[in-house]
Structure 1
């Protein structure tokens, strides 16, 4: 049976439009670090690098050597961990040119470090994207988090973060760090800003 993240992992990707606590397990990702304004044209090169690798894994069953444990699945959504450069954190407005980010796409359990390296080398032969050299394959274990579904423009996310932080205060939870994760359920290239669906998540402690 095909693995569908929208069905098997609803708790991770289809959260409610109000805050909830979730324990996020360790998962493997192709990831790439960057900085600057995500509205710059070059930002799409980061996304293209990750998707080219992810779809290469998805189609690897057609290669001469099928990966051990391969199963059919839907490619996972794009995610990002976002932060600000130190000098921009105390400003009254968000300077997007000072953003620091790690973009990533989750990979299924059968992807090993060796397979990931092989996939990167194969794609580099076919694609001219120089950012492929910056892609890493790592595991991340977020653990206890608060998350909610934000519906609307990315610029309106602070409203949802305020709701999440109020939820933490009311439930004895402490936000561990200012960085946060975004999971892009909608395709921003095809969706009106007011209809975008983005899971917002940050780590907490009791």
Structure 2
């Protein structure tokens, strides 16, 4: 007697990097591009970059996104390539704010097909495996916009120099930064790459400068 085998069809792999090539380009040239809204898994916190809270957030995010990916793939629902870790910084002045008080949101982009229920289910799977309570990353929709982007090669401590270059470029193009919308994407693993060889994409969301005018001219 023939036995029927239940086979789960492997879903096609979604490569978000190919859908937005500019956003993850390693080009050393300045890029000026538009992007639509994206979906991210996000963990927010306050503390020094590289500190305990920051490191814990990274571990939580990576553990979660890999479990999510292979759970969905195993069920034949969805498969996707995991993109680099990104950080969205809060609206503060790093020159006058203690690093211990820096606010940040660590993110990894995922396909928009990923649902809140799938995120909750993944959290339960991790809790059952590790026996720990887990607050799952938040599913966040980030608005699109116009971006100026440069590749920073070197230690994270010198990222400010690249931001300065982007600000100058924005000024020359009659653009102004959008408050709270500067981001970094980390292309290198600092555990395996020397500081001087670290690659980081630095992005500044910009808009046309507003013209000042008098409502009631004399």
TM-score, structure 2 normalization:
0.80
2:156 matched residue in structure 1:
154
TM-score, scaled to structure 1: 0.84
Aligned residue in 1 for 2:32: 21
Q: Which runs of 5 or more residues in structure 2 are unaligned?
A: 1-11, 209-218
4+ runs of 1 displaced by more than 6 Å?
none
Quick one: higher RCO (CA 8 Å, sep 6+), 1 or 2? 1
Whole-angstrom distance in 1 between the partners of 2:85 and 2:53: 16
Structure 2 Cα separation of the partners of residues 174 and 128 of structure 1: 48
SS at match of 2:76: coil
The residue correspondences of 1:112-151 to structure 2 (distance < 5 A) are 112-127=115-130, 132-133=134-135, 135-151=137-153
Work out the CA distance in 2 between the residues paired with 1:140 and 1:19: 22
How many equivalent residue pairs? Answer: 197
Deviations 1:123-159 (A, max 9, x none): 22223665x4162112111311211111111111111
Which whole-Å deviations, capped at 9, do the CAs of 1:63-97 have from their partners, x for residues lacking one?
4x432xx2x43211111111365xx6662xx6211
CA distance in 2, matches of 1:166, 1:81: 21
| Cα deviation, residue 41, structure 1 | 3.3
Q: Measure how far apart 1:201 and its partner are.
A: 0.8
Unaligned runs of 5+ in 1: none
Shift of 1:115: 1.3
3-state SS of paired residue (2:90): strand
Of the three residues 186, 189, 197, the one matched with 1:187 is: 189
Bigger CA radius of gyration = 2
Please, what is the CA RMSD of the aligned residues?
A: 2.3
CA distance in 1, matches of 2:130, 2:183: 28
Tell me how far 1:164 sits from its aligned partner. 0.6
Cα distance change, pair 109–179 in 1 and its aligned pair in 2 (3 A): closer
Alpha-carbon distance change, 34 to 61 in structure 1, aligned in 2, over 3 angstroms: closer
Contact in 2 for aligned 1:49/1:129 (Cα 8 Å): no
Q: Is the 8 A contact 1:29 1:137 kept in 2?
A: yes
Q: Residue 58 and residue 178 in structure 1: after superposition, are their counterparts in 2 closer, same or farther (change >3 A)?
A: closer
Give me the whole-angstrom Cα distance separating, in 2, the residues matched to 1:8 and 1:26: 12
**What is the CA-CA distance between 1:62 and the residue it aligns to?**
5.4
What's the secondary structure of 1:176's corresponding residue? Answer: strand
